[in-house]
Amino acid sequence: MRSHDHPEKRHMGRPDEHHAAGGDEMKTNPASSHQHSRTNGDDDHSRGHDHGQMVAEFRRRFWVSLVLSIPVLVLAPMLQRLAGLEESLSFPGDGYLQALIATVVFFYGGWPFLRGFWGEAAQRKPGMMTLIAMAISVAWAYSTAVALGLEGQVFYWELVTLIDIMLLGHWIEMRSVMGASRALEALVQLMPSTAHLVQQDGSTREVEVTSLTSGQRVLVKPGEKIPTDGVVVEGRSAVDQSMLTGESRLIERGEGDEVIGGSVNGESAFTFEVAKTGEETYLSQVVRMVREAQESRSRTQDLANRAASWLTYTALGVGLLTLVAWLLAGKGFDFALERMVTVMVIACPHALGLAVPLVVAVSTAISASNGLLIRDRSAFERARELQAVIFDKTGTLTEGRFGVTDVISLAEVPENDVLRLTAGLESQSEHPIAAGIVRAAQERGLDHAAPKRFAAIPGKGAEALIEGRNLKVVSPGYLREQGLEVDDATVRRVAEQGKTVVYVLEDERPIGALALADVIREESREALTRLESMGIRSMMLTGDAEAVARWVSEELGLDGYFAEVLPHEKAEKVREVQKRGLTVAMTGDGVNDAPALVAADVGIAIGAGTDVAIESADIVLVRSDPRDVASIVALAGSTYRKMVQNLWWATGYNVVAIPLAAGVLHPWGIVLSPAFGAVLMSVSTVIVAINARLLKA
């Protein structure tokens, strides 16, 4: 790692130089592809489809069970007595009708939990499914026995409401983890489906990208996506690789230079020779890394499952002990069974089933209203433990667009005049650097004249007549070709900072220079200050040159940075920081950030980035504001505290209620009836719900 205190130099090639945009020479080993994505897409789609079917199943079972629960509640004797409607609502055979409907709810709505119980039993890891299955099975079996003549109290309304709440909780929970497979589908969309294949006679014909083979030549027109990896054999253009590599500058590409499939061609057409296809290409490597990281992700054990496991053993143990104890004490079987069932009902996880999902639902709503979209609950919970946040530079700490940082006068020409004249010349160009210069002039309120006789200098800049003056805006390469030298301390300083420098010439005489760099977001400084106040380290990861990274790091006061990181190395850098024993979040927006986002303990995507980055992340910042990273950490802490409080409410009352249900105070005439046990259980559910609503941002 290169920290701003102890920067390490890496020996890399000089940056390419071209009109207003010298790009870092990327010595990558590209590998990815549209073909590979399509080859593996079916598996990913099927996985996502299966998960989607499970979510749909819980949703469907919830609504059907909820509708069927209404008559069960209306027919419940205890609820009729509480409402004073016992005489008006009861009729002959109502108990059998209630039993029939409740039985349908038990088998239809309760089936996922009964099925889950067998799965947990096979693994010998009892959890929430075991506790739910046990509670609903005991309630149904006992109530059915009572309906058929056994002396006692039916628990049908408790049974159906328990099933409804459990289905709702699991539906909410499963929806929060949807979307992982969509990341790979989004990668496919980066690639064009067709390419312009160059024929032997020089003409072109449109072919499917999947039919391309190594050695064939392909024409790429301005504005088109490059269909696969290759080497330029004819023409020169600037290529936008930012969505793939995170490189903030347009990369000049000419004969002999590599191009990456999925990147976007700029201003000129060029022909390249296909070098890699299928699984060899860069995008396929990204696909593979995202898939592997997703499959190897370790997830924290859910707090509610741990509580359910504990409660399962307690309920089973105390329930059986209660039955045996009262039988040995000489009580009748019906009394002993009623005591045992009361224990089971008290232990029913109504509140436990809602303890976490309700808090998650509330915190998700709060976060969404603040532009924070939570996609993975367990990762969101981990955010409270963060010790380091690694930010991608381009598009995260910076705006991903060029801006003028320095205006330098070289011939006693006022700085505003240098900027005004340059903006006038560039006003008719669509180049990103030109747009940055024009924008800087507008921000300073400088009016500029329209250029006359505008002409591009291929690969070097542009020239025009401005206010009757013959001007050129050129790259350092043009000066070297013409044998011109500029000896200025300020120019040397900004060049050492890795900024792009363009020169303004009048009649071939340098009169000024402009330094441009990726604009640092104003919000970045506040974001890092807030994280520092929380004791969290802030680091930066970038493919840019050492000098650029060092300048940004010094400007923002980062705790450290990684510079000149090749796209496939980003996930490795995240793991390197994790090996120091730190809980790490990664924040980024490009395709190249996707593996790192998944490898991190918490992946945070900038919402203005690619779908791939967003789908690979655990949390999405809709506003593209780095300050929201600190907001996520604060909300995660509040959410976790509220979860713990709810779990105590959901399980803590059992410390008192279960012994009372078992009848420990029976010798003193105090017996907790099953009906009162159900009410007590319901009160805990209400408390949990109210407590969840009290969560604040």
Which of 1.10.260.40, 3.40.1110.10, 3.40.50.510, 3.90.1150.10 is the CATH number of 400-519?
3.40.1110.10
- pLDDT score recorded for residue 183: 46
Give percent above pLDDT 70 in the chain: 78
Largest CA distance in the chain: 114
Residue type for position 635: L
Q: What is the mean pLDDT of residues 258-286?
A: 83
Q: What is the mean pLDDT of residues 534-555?
A: 90
Closest alpha carbon to 364 in 161, 130, 619, 566: 619
- pLDDT score recorded for residue 331: 85
The CATH class of 192-293 is mainly beta
- pLDDT score recorded for residue 558: 94
- pLDDT score recorded for residue 187: 56
Retrieve residue 553's tokens: 């790091």
Retrieve residue 674's tokens: 């099953």
How is domain 364-398+521-636 classified at the architecture level of CATH?
Answer: 3-Layer(aba) Sandwich (3.40)
319 pLDDT tier (thresholds 50, 70, 90): confident
Burial (CB count <10 Å: 0-12, 13-18, 19+), residue 295: exposed
Q: What is the mean pLDDT of residues 503-524?
A: 90
- pLDDT score recorded for residue 524: 92
pLDDT value at 31 more than 50? no
pLDDT value at 40 more than 60? no
Mean pLDDT is lowest, of 5-9, 75-79, 471-475, for 5-9
Q: What is the distance between the alpha carbons of residues 558 and 515, in angstroms, rounded to a whole number?
A: 23
pLDDT value at 189 more than 80? no
65 pLDDT tier (thresholds 50, 70, 90): very high
Residue type for position 388: A
Structure-model confidence comparison of residues 590 and 188, the more confident one: 590
191 pLDDT tier (thresholds 50, 70, 90): confident
Neighbouring CB atoms inside 10 A of 582's CB total 17
277 pLDDT tier (thresholds 50, 70, 90): confident
Say if strands 264-265 and 258-259 run parallel, antiparallel, or are unpaired: unpaired
Examine domains 364-398+521-636 and 400-519 and report if their fold is the same. Answer: no
pLDDT value at 87 more than 60? yes
Q: What is the distance between the alpha carbons of residues 441 and 644, in angstroms, rounded to a whole number?
A: 55
pLDDT value at 51 more than 50? yes
Range list of H helices, 430-533? 432-443, 476-482, 489-496, 522-533
DSSP state of 252: E
- pLDDT score recorded for residue 388: 96
Burial (CB count <10 Å: 0-12, 13-18, 19+), residue 160: buried
- pLDDT score recorded for residue 93: 82
205 pLDDT tier (thresholds 50, 70, 90): very high
Q: Answer yes or no: are the C-beta atoms of 258 and 30 closer than 8 Å.
A: yes
Q: Residue 504 phi/psi, 5° resolution?
A: -105, 120
pLDDT value at 668 more than 60? yes
- pLDDT score recorded for residue 17: 33
Tell how many helices (H) and how many strands (E) occur in the chain. Answer: 26, 22
Q: Answer yes or no: are the C-beta atoms of 695 and 636 closer than 8 Å.
A: no
Q: What is the mean pLDDT of residues 485-513?
A: 90
173 pLDDT tier (thresholds 50, 70, 90): low
- pLDDT score recorded for residue 579: 94
26 pLDDT tier (thresholds 50, 70, 90): very low
Q: What is the mean pLDDT of residues 135-145?
A: 85
Q: What is the mean pLDDT of residues 512-536?
A: 91
- pLDDT score recorded for residue 612: 62
Mean pLDDT is lowest, of 146-160, 400-414, 458-472, 529-543, for 146-160
- Please list the active-site residues: 392
pLDDT value at 181 more than 50? no
b/e code 466-481 from CB counts within 10 Å (16+ = b): beeeebbbbbbbbbee
pLDDT value at 520 more than 70? yes
Closest alpha carbon to 607 in 374, 426, 385, 261: 374
**Domain boundaries, given as residue ranges, for the chain:** 44-179+298-363+639-693, 192-293, 364-398+521-636, 400-519
The tens digit of pLDDT for each residue in 638-660 reads 888 888 888 787 777 777 778 88
- pLDDT score recorded for residue 304: 62
Q: Using alpha carbons, list the distances in angstroms from residue 224 to 245, 253, 328.
A: 17, 15, 84
pLDDT value at 584 more than 90? yes
pLDDT value at 395 more than 80? no
Question: Between the ranges 242-246, 310-314, 662-666, where is the mean pLDDT highest?
Answer: 662-666
pLDDT value at 582 more than 90? yes
pLDDT averaged over every residue in the chain: 78
pLDDT value at 561 more than 90? yes
- pLDDT score recorded for residue 83: 74
Question: Between the ranges 84-88, 325-329, 355-359, 375-379, where is the mean pLDDT highest?
Answer: 325-329
Q: What is the mean pLDDT of residues 601-629?
A: 76
The tens digit of pLDDT for each residue in 454-496 reads 888 877 888 999 888 999 999 888 898 888 888 899 999 998 8
- pLDDT score recorded for residue 291: 57
Q: What is the distance between the alpha carbons of residues 453 and 495, in angstroms, rounded to a whole number?
A: 31
Retrieve residue 616's tokens: 């690979």
Mean pLDDT is lowest, of 126-140, 210-224, 673-687, for 673-687
Q: Answer yes or no: are the C-beta atoms of 473 and 467 closer than 8 Å.
A: no
Question: Between the ranges 7-21, 103-117, 653-667, where is the mean pLDDT highest?
Answer: 103-117
- pLDDT score recorded for residue 34: 32
Mean pLDDT is lowest, of 7-11, 529-533, 573-577, for 7-11
- pLDDT score recorded for residue 2: 38
